[in-house]
C-alpha cells in the first residue's frame, strides 16, 4: 500500500481528493491537514510515502512545506497540486525537492497514477506546464526585490516598506524602480500582478 498525506486548505477539495484516491486498491490516505505548518508534524506521525500538497495554504505555503518535509523526512516524496498552473511555481517546487507537479483539474485516475509513479521514484510533471516553464525561464527578480514586492503589494507606503524590511527609503525606491522595469509593469501594483501571474510571487 502507498501511504498518502493530503494537505489542502479547502475542506471540500481535501475531502474529494481523499475520497477519490482512497478508492484506489493500492493507496491509503493516512493523514489530512488544512494548513502548511501542520504538514511536517502530521507526516512525522503518519509516516506517509507520498505527500500531496496544495501550494497556497495558510501558516506556510506548500513549497516551503515541501522543503521542510524533504529535510525532515527525505523518504517521503512530494507532489504539488495547484489550481494555478504557473511556470514559476513549478521551478520553485522542483527546487524545494518536489517529485511531481499537477493541476487540480487532473482526472482522478491520472492523479492516482501520478502518486504511484512518484512513490516508485519517478518525476511527474504536467506536460503543458513543463513546456511553458522551459520557455519562460527563471524569475528576473532578485531575492531582495521579491521581498520588497511581497510587502509592497499590500499597499503600504515607501516608509512602511522600509520599516518592515529594515531598509532605507531610497533603497526601497531603487528596488521598486528595478522591479517595475524588470516585470514591464506600469506601477508597483501592476508589477505585483505580473509577478503573481508568472509564479514569481506566491499569491
Residue 39 lies in a domain: yes
The three-class DSSP label of residue 32 is strand
Same domain, 125 and 152: no
pLDDT of residue 131: 53
Whether the pLDDT of residue 137 is over 60: the answer is no
Q: Write 115-120 long-range contacts (CB < 8 A, 24+).
A: 115/2, 115/4, 115/21, 115/27, 115/50, 115/52, 115/79, 116/2, 116/26, 116/27, 118/50, 118/77, 118/78, 118/79, 119/2, 119/49, 119/50, 119/77
Is residue 114 assigned to a domain?
A: yes
**Which residue would you say has higher pLDDT here, 139 or 65?**
65
Task: State whether 116 and 47 are in the same domain.
Answer: yes
pLDDT of residue 112: 96
In a domain, 33, yes or no: yes
Residue 85 has pLDDT above 70, yes or no: no
Question: Quick one: 113 and 30 in the same domain?
Answer: yes
Last residue of a domain, one of 115, 136, 157: 136
Q: Which CATH number covers residue 76?
A: 3.40.50.2300
Q: How would residue 87 be classed by pLDDT, with cut points 50, 70 and 90? A: low
Residues 180 and 119 in one domain: no
If one counts the domains in the chain, the total is 2
Tens digits of residue pLDDT in 18-38:
999 999 999 999 999 999 999
pTM tops 0.75: no
Euclidean distance between CA atoms 184 and 16, whole angstroms: 40
Residues 6 or more apart in contact with residue 84 via CB below 8 angstroms = 55, 56, 199, 203
Domain limits for position 84: 2-136
Q: What is the pLDDT of residues 149-165, one digit of tens each?
A: 999 988 889 999 999 99
CATH number of the domain residue 148 falls in: 1.10.10.10
Amino acid at each position: 500500500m502507498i501511504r498518502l498525506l493530503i494537505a489542502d486548505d479547502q475542506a471540500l477539495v481535501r475531502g474529494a481528493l481523499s475520497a477519490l484516491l482512497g478508492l484506489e486498491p493500492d493507496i491509503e490516505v493516512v493523514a489530512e491537514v488544512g494548513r502548511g505548518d501542520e504538514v511536517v508534524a502530521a507526516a512525522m506521525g503518519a509516516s506517509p510515502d507520498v505527500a500531496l500538497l496544495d501550494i497556497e495554504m495558510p501558516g506556510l505555503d506548500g513549497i516551503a512545506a515541501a522543503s521542510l518535509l524533504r529535510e525532515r523526512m527525505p523518504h517521503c516524496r512530494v507532489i504539488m497540486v495547484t489550481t494555478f498552473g504557473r511556470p514559476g511555481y513549478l521551478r520553485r517546487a522542483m527546487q524545494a525537492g518536489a517529485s511531481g507537479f499537477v493541476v487540480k483539474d487532473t482526472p482522478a485516475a491520472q492523479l492516482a497514477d501520478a502518486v504511484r509513479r512518484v512513490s516508485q521514484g519517478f518525476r511527474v510533471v504536467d506536460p503543458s506546464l513543463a513546456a511553458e516553464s522551459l520557455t519562460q525561464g527563471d524569475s528576473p527578480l532578485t531575492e531582495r526585490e521579491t521581498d520588497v514586492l511581497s510587502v509592497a503589494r499590500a499597499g503600504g507606503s515607501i516608509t512602511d516598506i522600509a520599516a518592515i524590511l529594515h531598509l532605507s527609503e531610497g533603497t526601497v525606491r531603487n528596488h521598486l524602480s528595478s522591479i517595475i522595469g524588470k516585470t514591464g509593469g506600469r506601477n508597483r501594483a501592476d508589477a505585483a500582478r505580473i509577478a503573481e501571474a508568472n509564479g514569481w510571487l506566491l499569491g
